[in-house]
């Protein structure tokens, strides 16, 4: 069983006065909305996993090999990072999220592994392109057992399975909880879906995957945890915040004002760039920061922007570096 670092999937209710409660409330809202989809997806994937599924830890290690982790942040296209990687003729490991896979392949970047965490059927579009089918046999898919079966059907290469942590495997007094939903689902897969923290998003999962593969160092690209939009109302979580506040205040304008107040423009001190952020992105950042600090592994933030910066992640094993410099140093 892989080490689990995420202790809880629970959360608080939305509070008018306490802004930090908003991310917890949104996670709880997400769980309530999606749990039936997740379980239905697992049920569809279960026969394949139980019969011939391979657990994540069966994926061959890449010990001490430098690895680029490609997330899906706006900086990738904004700074032409894939073109830089292509020009560098990178010879080492690449781990890609589903969203970035097609663009990476078009730049002749063939990942060692691609990851998919989300249960939405919309994810299948990332695997339907003919260039993905062309290279699938050269790429290892690492799929959450909760991915939509349309994603599984669209992949014609090897699959290594895992389960994200829906709830805590251990009680507050550190006793193993065999009534945990996560543990029960793990057993249902005949333990062929490994247990691992996804930290709430596919990019962050790639970092944990890099730890599992024993890569060193891990170079982060597309890890913005923020947005580049002209208006706050265009931000990805804006409408979700509005809907939650509307339930509390029954007032559209007040709800929108509250949602807008949660979105702030900040400066990245490492690269001198600005980004739009909210408590959800900062929660993802803080969860990932905890993993980075506890890992003691060498992590290089080469995204060029966003709230995952050395001002927020203060430890000796984490540094920021322009991607061009990192490619030259570790290729």
Residue recorded with tokens 């394949």: 48
Helices 21-52, 279-295: inter-axial angle, 10-degree rounding: 60
Tell me, what's the pLDDT at 244?
84
- Encode 132-143 in three state secondary structure: HHHHHHHCEEEE
247-256 pLDDT, tens per residue? 889 999 999 9
178-210 pLDDT, tens per residue? 999 999 999 999 999 999 988 889 999 999 999
Cα–Cα dist 250/258, whole Å: 12
Q: Which of 18-22, 74-78, 214-218 has the lowest mean pLDDT?
A: 18-22
Residues 100-105 have a mean pLDDT of: 98
Cα–Cα dist 263/280, whole Å: 10
Read out DSSP for 201-233?
SHHHHHHHHHHHHT-SSEEEES--SSB--SSGG
- Categorize the per-residue pLDDT at 235 as very low, low, confident or very high, splitting at 50, 70 and 90: very high
Residue recorded with tokens 């139980």: 50
Is 37 within 8 Å of 149 (Cβ atoms)? no
- Categorize the per-residue pLDDT at 31 as very low, low, confident or very high, splitting at 50, 70 and 90: confident
Beta bridge partners of 163: 195
Residues 226-253 have a mean pLDDT of: 92
Q: Which of 273, 276, 266, 203 is nearest to 238 (CA)?
A: 276
Tell me, what's the pLDDT at 197?
85
C-alpha dist (Å) from residue 256 to 23, 85, 233, 238: 17, 41, 9, 8
Average pLDDT, the chain: 90
Longest dimension (CA), the chain: 56
Tell me, what's the pLDDT at 167?
84
What is the sign of the dihedral through the CA atoms of 278, 279, 283 and 284? negative
Q: Which of 58, 49, 55, 104 is nearest to 213 (CA)?
A: 58
Tell me, what's the pLDDT at 2?
35
Phi/psi for 205 (5° steps) reads -60, -35
Residues 49-69 have a mean pLDDT of: 96
Phi/psi for 294 (5° steps) reads -70, -25
H-assigned helices in 222-278: 238-249, 252-261
Residues 148-160 have a mean pLDDT of: 95
Tell me, what's the pLDDT at 216?
97
Burial class (CB in 10 A: 0-12, 13-18, 19+), 296: exposed
Q: Which of 288, 103, 310, 323 is nearest to 209 (CA)?
A: 288
Give 177 or 70, the one with higher predicted confidence.
70
Beta bridge partners of 68: 94, 219
Is 313 within 8 Å of 293 (Cβ atoms)? yes
Cα–Cα dist 77/39, whole Å: 35
Is 212 within 8 Å of 57 (Cβ atoms)? yes
High-pLDDT (> 70) share of the chain, %:
92
254-306 pLDDT, tens per residue? 999 999 999 999 999 999 999 999 998 998 999 899 999 999 999 999 999 99
C-alpha dist (Å) from residue 64 to 203, 212, 214, 263: 21, 11, 6, 39
């Amino acid at each position: 069983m892989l080490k689990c670092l995420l202790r809880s999937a629970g959360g608080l209710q939305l509070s008018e006065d306490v802004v930090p409660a908003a991310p917890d409330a949104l996670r709880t809202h997400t769980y309530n909305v999606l749990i039936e989809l997740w379980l239905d997806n697992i049920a569809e994937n279960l026969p394949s996993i139980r019969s011939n599924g391979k657990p994540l830890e069966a994926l061959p290690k890449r010990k001490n090999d430098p690895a680029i982790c490609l997330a899906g942040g706006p900086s990738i296209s904004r700074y032409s990072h894939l073109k830089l990687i292509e020009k560098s003729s990178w010879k080492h490991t690449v781990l890609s999220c589903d969203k970035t896979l097609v663009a990476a392949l078009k730049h002749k970047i063939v990942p060692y592994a691609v990851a998919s965490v989300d249960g939405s059927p919309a994810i299948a579009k990332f695997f339907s392109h003919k260039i993905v089918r062309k290279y699938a046999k050269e790429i290892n898919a690492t799929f959450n057992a909760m991915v939509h079966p349309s994603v599984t059907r669209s992949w014609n290469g090897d699959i290594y399975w895992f389960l994200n942590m829906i709830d805590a495997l251990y009680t507050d007094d550190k006793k193993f909880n065999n009534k945990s939903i996560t543990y029960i689902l793990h057993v249902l897969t005949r333990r062929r879906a490994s247990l691992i923290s996804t930290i709430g998003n596919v990019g962050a999962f790639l970092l944990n995957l890099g730890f599992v593969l024993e890569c060193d160092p891990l170079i982060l690209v597309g890890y913005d945890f923020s947005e580049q939009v002209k208006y706050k109302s265009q931000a990805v979580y804006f409408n979700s915040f509005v809907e939650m506040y509307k339930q509390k205040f029954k007032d559209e304008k007040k709800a929108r004002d509250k949602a807008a107040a949660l979105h702030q423009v900040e400066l990245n001190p490492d690269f001198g760039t600005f980004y739009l952020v909210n408590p959800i992105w900062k929660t993802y950042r803080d969860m990932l920061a905890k993993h980075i600090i506890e890992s003691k592994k060498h992590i290089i933030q080469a995204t060029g922007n966003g709230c995952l910066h050395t001002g927020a992640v203060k430890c000796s094993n984490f540094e920021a570096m322009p991607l061009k410099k990192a490619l030259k140093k570790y290729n």
